[in-house]
Structure 1
Amino acid sequence: MTDETLTRIAEALERLRPPPASPPDWRAAEAFVWHADPDRLDPVPRVNRVELDLLHGIGRARDTLLQNTRQFAAGLPANNALLWGARGMGKSSLVKAVHGTVAREVPGLALVEMQREDLPSIGRLLTLLRAAPVRVILFCDDLSFSHDDQHYKSLKAVLDGGVEGRPENVVFYATSNRRHLMPRDMIENERSTAISPSEATEEKVSLSDRFGLWLGFHPCTQDEYLAMVRGYCDAYGLEIAEAALRAEAIEWQATRGSRSGRVAWQFFTDLAGRHGVRI
């Protein structure tokens, strides 16, 4: 194959390559969603969030993440954060609520959400964000990896250890039901079958170590669950006798077999609809 032929092939491949993503109008919205193939940031006209003071039972995590975000928005050092633990306890709601609170205090703080499936494109996204005139919370909800999933390798160098590293104007927040982002049986299997068990699991477990903040979320008590429901009623002006509210809320969580912030909101949604209250 001649040099001329190789040049023509290279030029053809270059023409097929999608053009770099153009920067969005950062003034168009306070939040954006990243899509790959083709690369683009779509503005979100209205963020689906609840107010920070409606999140009960997670006071320590709330205060820690709020302080970290305020430091970041002010241009001070801040850590990447992993919010892990019980499902439905407000991990993603907290990220969105904290962003909304701090964005009102310090203009110029954007929220960019990316899907786990798009992690291989995170390098291209960070190149785009590095030149942004705003500070960005990069958010990935429900981050976890299966046995044969190699997407975590795309994330490791970005969090810590890459030559370029994380841009100064970007912080990474992720939520997961798993503390180490990997199934426990996957980690145990690696340990039991590898020649060097510690080395076999080091690469996978070390991903969560690259988050400076680990914020744990645990199942709520009945009192916390009822406080969540009462908080929603007060916030939206739904009037109901305390005894009736308590009985209905407990019956609802009993039929679901669990208590969480998500169950509390689902009950309140049903209650509001029956009482003709818009939310």
Structure 2
Amino acid sequence: MTANDDILHRIATALERLAPPPAPPCDWLAAPAYVWTGAGQPVAAIEAPALARLTGIDQQKERVVANVTRLARGHAAHDMLLWGARGMGKSALVRAAVRQAQADGGSLALVQVASDAIPSISALFAQLARVARNFLVFIDDLGFAEGDTVGPRHLRSWLDGGVEARPANVRLAVTSNRRAIVPRHGAEQDDPINPRDAVDDNLALADRFGLSLGFHACSQDDYLAIVHGYAADLGLAVDEGAALEWSKRRGARSGRVAWHYVTELAGQAGRQTG
């Protein structure tokens, strides 16, 4: 071995010592939930409110729970798009429905996809297809930038029939503030050739979800009903005037704002909300 060869050997050995060992393969049967970052990371428990605490969205809750239950039992189930107002329980409902299905004995895990890992979902599907378990792949607060044509095209392919389509034991759950997911603007209607083309193309993405549910901003009565429901569950008394003032200071009425107000009540009373 020459001196140069010896130097190169010692450099290679040093680099091997510095390099972290390869991550062990993810055990997709071991945990109730996972985060996908390009690799699977198990999560010990699903943080979600009890379904009974999610009030003001009874119809949406009934349909999501029924769909997730079917998936957990290995029956036909839909991909889901939950769209609409912020703070109305879209994400919490997905997590709570999965946790309830698991408590009922269903073979189901939740896999939440990190926002920067969305391009690698096809690799996730390839792993999940080999596992004897059902999975709900969850993309929270999905949105595509204006002019992004690659992301929506991949999503269409995952949903129905492309070579990257999700396997039979996997369904998608997506939350978004917009039903169309992609940005829309008035200029869509100004196409001199066919003013419907751009609009139809955007809406076609949402139409690929078998279950699409809207979540709308609260009326004052709905907001107070949610506050009373949360407070009653914790044995707390409600001052409606204070509850409304709380929402005014935050510029919104929603289930999230109602929960924050009840958390404040609980804290003032020296109580826990968990």
TM (normalized to structure 1)?
Answer: 0.83
Cα deviations across residues 154-209 of structure 1 (Å, max 9, x unaligned)?
A: 21101013136321110111111101112221xx4344257544444444332111
Identity level (%): 43
Is 1:152 the counterpart of 2:152? The answer is yes
User: Root-mean-square deviation (CA), in Å?
Assistant: 2.2
**1:229·1:268 contact (CA, 8 Å) conserved in 2?**
yes
Gaps of 5+ in 2: 1-21
Q: For 1:48 and 1:74, how far apart are their aligned partners in 2?
A: 22
Cα deviations across residues 33-75 of structure 1 (Å, max 9, x unaligned)?
A: 100xxx3111122322111111111111111111111221222
Post-superposition offset of 1:101: 1.0
Q: For 1:96 and 1:193, how far apart are their aligned partners in 2?
A: 41
For the pair shown, which has the larger CA radius of gyration, 1 or 2?
A: 2
Q: Describe how 1:176-255 pairs up with structure 2 within 5 A.
A: 176-185=176-185, 188-193=186-191, 195-237=193-235, 239-240=236-237, 242=238, 245-255=239-249
Taking a change above 3 Å as real, the CA distance of residues 274 and 183 of structure 1, as seen in their structure-2 partners, is same
Q: For 1:225 and 1:21, how far apart are their aligned partners in 2?
A: 47
Post-superposition offset of 1:234: 3.0
1:274 match: 268
1:132 match: 131
Post-superposition offset of 1:258: 1.6
Matched residues, number:
252
Q: For 1:133 and 1:194, how far apart are their aligned partners in 2?
A: 52
1:75 match: 74
**1:194·1:200 contact (CA, 8 Å) conserved in 2?**
no
Gaps of 5+ in 1: 1-19
Post-superposition offset of 1:125: 0.8
1:61 match: 60
Taking a change above 3 Å as real, the CA distance of residues 222 and 60 of structure 1, as seen in their structure-2 partners, is same
**2:108·2:133 contact (CA, 8 Å) conserved in 1?**
yes
